Amino acid sequence: MTTSITTTFKTDVCIVGNGAIAKTAALGFAQAGHSVTLLVPPARPAPETAAGVSSAADKPWDVRVYALNHTAHSLLASLKVWGALDLARVQAVDAMDIRGDGEQGGNLGFDAFGAHVGTLAWIVEDSNLNQALDAAIKFSHNVHVVSGCAVDLSCGELGAGVRLEDGRKIDCELVVGADGRESWVRGQCDIGVDYRMYHQRAIVTNFACDKPHHGVAYQWFTCADGIIALLPLPGKRVSLVWSAPETLAETLMDESLGELAIRLAEYAEDKLGALRPLQPEDVKAVPLALVRPHAITAPRVALVGDAAHAVHPLAGHGMNLGFADLVDLLDAIKEREDRRGIADERVLARYARKRKEDVLLMQIATDGLERLFGANLEPLRVVRNFGLNLLDKLPSVKRRLMAHAMGKSTL
């Protein structure tokens, strides 16, 4: 049936975005009893399936992965999404090994035993997570997916409206902007943004390793080469996230993955053995920036995920901040007084207050560490390595850091 261009969709919540945070938001609001319209960009042609791929076990490993913490796990489990993941492709992180720079580099370690938990985090592929979310949305009768390009956002006392370029309109009480770092929703609300370009790119790809990783995530803070992380994947495989300075990033992207593996041997060979590119070879480079919007709410609008904040990936918590946004937004709406609507100014202000400290701490921590380890000064090198070693010997401080990273109040 052909849809008229004058069609108007009426819904409680309009969520703009097509990533994991947007889809999780749609499921969260639907589970809370709200009608949801998920506005996604027009679909692109699906890539052809690689010849010879006959089962999920043969599927190439996604180079984009997330280290999901306990907050994310709990939310996805409550929405019946976690159990729908291909758990054979999910890897638990049992420990972290963080190294400073130089021959006498500092060392900081975390482990699940010391944190009194079963695991610190879970490594999940972007494709695995989105497939589970898509399946859940198909079975959610409260979620209506609309494909199209938004051209106008209007908000008033009686509600909000999103107009599409073909004339269709979505009328709602609340608009949730989950549309990424360059958020259209944020721009429509004239919310100012502070940017800090890191002049780095995150180089992401996957390798097979000769030695078992034992569920350990490795990270090296270097000065000249940036920040290198090798995250465990199921089996003897690891996922690389190399936050490399622009000039080095260009060189890495021009080299073969075999040459990249040789470069990594300087850091990883004694722990993981020789690294070999997983086939088919795949590598991506993502520009890095700190994005701090001046507000995460506007009349009848709430921002979540990268639309609300973007941080350096050195801590691996960009996605986790987005899931925490959803938890706090859903809680603020659930706990509102009966006389207040879901887009009430005070309800949204409570959401903004709840997120302020958590987001600010992560922004300060990631930005501060990037500045500290990016400075090529010998006195700073000594101080930062000493700091890592000192922190490793302060169990109470380590527990607080682990609790915050895992999304828990205490350990």
CA-closest candidate to residue 76, choices 14, 128, 41, 33: 128
pLDDT at residue number 397 = 56
pLDDT at residue number 52 = 47
pLDDT tens digits along 255-287: 999 999 999 999 998 899 999 999 777 899 999
pLDDT at residue number 281 = 78
CA-closest candidate to residue 261, choices 307, 209, 316: 209
**How far lies 72's CA from each of 51, 75, 120, 305, 399, in Å?**
35, 5, 12, 12, 19
pLDDT at residue number 265 = 93
CA-closest candidate to residue 128, choices 173, 178, 91: 91
39-60 burial, b if ≥16 CB within 10 A, otherwise e?
bbeeeeeeeeeeeeeeeeeebe
CA 119/CA 112 separation, integer angstroms = 5
CA 71/CA 327 separation, integer angstroms = 8
What is the CATH architecture of 8-44+130-194+289-374?
A: 3-Layer(bba) Sandwich (3.50)
Instruction: Name the token pair of 411.
Output: 């350990």
Q: What is the DSSP annotation of 76-100?
A: HHHTT-GGGS-GGG-EEE-EEEEE-
Q: Which residue has the tokens 């690689």?
A: 50
Task: For residue 97, list its beta bridge partners.
Answer: 109, 218
pLDDT at residue number 100 = 80
pLDDT at residue number 99 = 86
390-396 contact pairs (CB < 8 A, 24+): 391/108, 392/106, 392/107, 392/108, 392/109, 395/114
Task: Provide the residue ranges of all domains of the chain, joining segments of one domain with +.
Answer: 8-44+130-194+289-374
The list of the chain residues with pLDDT below 70 reads: 1-5, 45-57, 102-105, 372-411
CA 215/CA 93 separation, integer angstroms = 5
CA 129/CA 62 separation, integer angstroms = 11
Phi then psi dihedrals of residue 3, to 5 deg: -85, 130
